[in-house]
């Protein structure tokens, strides 16, 4: 396969930078300098995903280990931290000891969670 020309590399990279900027994935750090923006999953999104995994039939440890969290760049330890924050907000009750976790569910249906999320 033929390597890209310098012009093609610059054109494609400028398109990619533009796309990343359009979706707020970059921050401006100085004149003509950009860096990758820090990304954090919104608590509402984390709660929705946790409840979705629960209603899909996953157990508590399976929820924490689910590959769905990878979409947000979260590893198991990050997921546990996120679930602890949700617990402090009263959306779940999260308990962990070593590699064992227990999640108490505040809401009995997705509709209840969505209603609370919409109001809060």
Per-residue pLDDT of the chain (120 residues; tens, 9 = 90+): 899 999 999 999 999 988 988 888 888 887 778 888 877 899 999 999 999 999 999 999 999 999 999 999 899 999 999 999 999 999 999 999 988 999 999 999 999 999 988 876
DSSP string, the chain: -PPPPHHHHHHHHHHHHHHHHHTT-EEEEETTEEEEPP----HHHHHHHHHHHHHTT--HHHHHH-GGGGGGT--HHHHHHHHHHHHHTTSEEEEEETTEEEEEES-SSHHHHHHHHHH-
Tokens of 110: 């997705």
Q: What is the pLDDT of residue 120?
A: 60
Give the predicted TM-score (pTM) of the model: 0.73
């Amino acid at each position: 396969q033929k390597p890209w020309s310098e012009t093609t590399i610059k054109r494609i990279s400028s398109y990619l930078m533009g796309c990343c900027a359009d979706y707020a994935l970059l921050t401006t750090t100085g004149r003509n300098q950009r860096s990758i923006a820090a990304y954090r999953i919104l608590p509402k999104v984390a709660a929705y995903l946790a409840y979705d995994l629960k209603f899909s039939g996953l157990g508590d440890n399976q929820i924490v280990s689910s590959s769905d969290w990878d979409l947000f760049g979260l590893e198991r330890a990050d997921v546990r931290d996120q679930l602890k924050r949700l617990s402090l907000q009263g959306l779940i009750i999260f308990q962990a000891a070593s590699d064992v976790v227990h999640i108490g569910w505040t809401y009995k249906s997705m509709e209840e969670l969505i209603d609370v999320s919409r109001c809060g």
